[in-house]
Amino acid sequence: MNIFKVFTSWLFPKGLVCVSCKREIPEGTTICDQCYDELPYLEDKTCYKCGRYLDEYGKLCRICIGSKKHFDRGFSVFRYEGNARNIILRFKSNHALNLTEFLVDSLSERFLETNEVVDYVSFIPMTEEDELKRGYNQSEILACGVAKKIGANMLDPLEKVKKTSAQKSLNFDHRRDNLKGAFKYRGKKIEGTVLVVDDVLTTGATADEMSRVLKQKGASRVLFLTVCSTYIHYKSGSVQ
């Protein structure tokens, strides 16, 4: 018997209320039909490079058109708004681990739609202090689930060796500077393509720094897969 599963199923039971609107829902589900139908799925109008929503003409968003990136392509399932944002916040900050299956299924389906092939799956590491404080790394939970679903191996984990400042109020350039030297990879030489899984793509600075480190260690390509991505307003350049 897996004690951890028993404990989490007791702590976060399925079939009580919808994780987004709090309506009662049938046993074995996590989100009601109405909230599911209102999820802001990303469709065709996305940046070819990072995968975020485009509110302008062309193939690239303002961030990707403005500077060269180390990652090759990014893909997301939802825009970071509405019910999708509610779900991420509960999964990330409120220990709603009963959302894992839904999120992993959504990520895996999105990745399989791309027809990309990867050799390894990885995740965004946290400092030991931050992971102990939260109790888990949500990126690692998602990555392990996706690796199993798509039949790829987990890469030797990277380490976050530098405590970084809060990124919320920083733009791409400041976030990039904040993250320099934050990640270390001490595993064997990487041969092949790596898929990095995370919850939210904001400016893409974390994705870019991770990709830089992975390519230094031999990765031929680095792809990113996130549950949600923000979008960059074309006229103001603000992240939403």
Range of the domain at 192: 42-229
57 contact partners, CB below 8 Å, separation of at least 6: none
Distance from C-alpha of 83 to C-alpha of 89, rounded to nearest angstrom: 10
Residues 30 and 47 in one domain: no
Whole-angstrom distance, CA of residue 232 vs CA of residue 164 = 23
pTM given for the model: 0.86
Residues 131 and 199 in one domain: yes
Residue 90 domain flag = yes
- Are 18 and 74 members of one domain? no
Q: What is the pLDDT of residue 205?
A: 87
The reply to whether 18 and 99 lie within a common domain is no
Assigned domain for 6 exists? yes
Residues 53 and 26 in one domain: no
- Residues 6 and 116 reside in one and the same domain: no
One digit per residue, the tens of pLDDT, for the chain of length 240 reads: 344 444 444 444 554 788 788 888 887 778 889 999 999 999 878 999 999 998 777 889 888 887 789 999 999 999 999 999 999 998 887 778 888 999 999 999 999 999 999 999 999 999 888 899 889 999 999 999 999 999 999 998 899 887 775 655 555 566 667 777 779 998 999 999 999 999 999 888 899 999 999 999 999 999 999 999 997 655 545 555
Residue 142, domain CATH? 3.40.50.2020
* CA distances to 68, 112, 191 from 216, in Å: 16, 27, 11
Residues 86, 17 share a domain = no
Tell me what pLDDT residue 54 has: 85
Helix, strand or coil for residue 99?
helix
